[in-house]
Amino acid sequence: MFVAYLTVTLLASTLNGSAAVANLIGHEYPKTEADRNQIPRSWVRPLGVLLGAGALGLLAGIVVPVVGTLAAAGLVLYFVGGLGAHVRAGNYRLGAWALFFLLALAALTVNLAYHSR
């Protein structure tokens, strides 16, 4: 079980950390997605900070389990909000969203399963 927990946690942290960096450095992809979802571009960096906090929280959860569980739950909520933004804007390009959401959900699941035993 530890191998699954560690694999999912590291993968989710890496992917969300990469997305956070893209947001924070002003890469064009997050800006384009913000435009598609009718989100102000001024929100791109703060949303990147949230992604980065989630990624770092997942890593910290390896040492302090409750932090990892809270970070995974926060990422799940972040992506539920993202789905709301997509639907509100009529943007049904949900491939990347689904990948990130399912990975955050998997991280939450393995956190709860591994640390509750």
pLDDT digits (tens, 9 = 90+) for 28-76: 999 999 999 999 999 999 999 999 999 999 999 999 999 999 999 999 9
**Rg over CA atoms, the chain:** 14
Q: Are 20 and 58 spatial neighbours (Cβ–Cβ below 8 Å)?
A: no
Q: What DSSP string runs through 55-80?
A: HHHHHHTTTSHHHHHHHHHHHHHHHH
pTM: 0.95
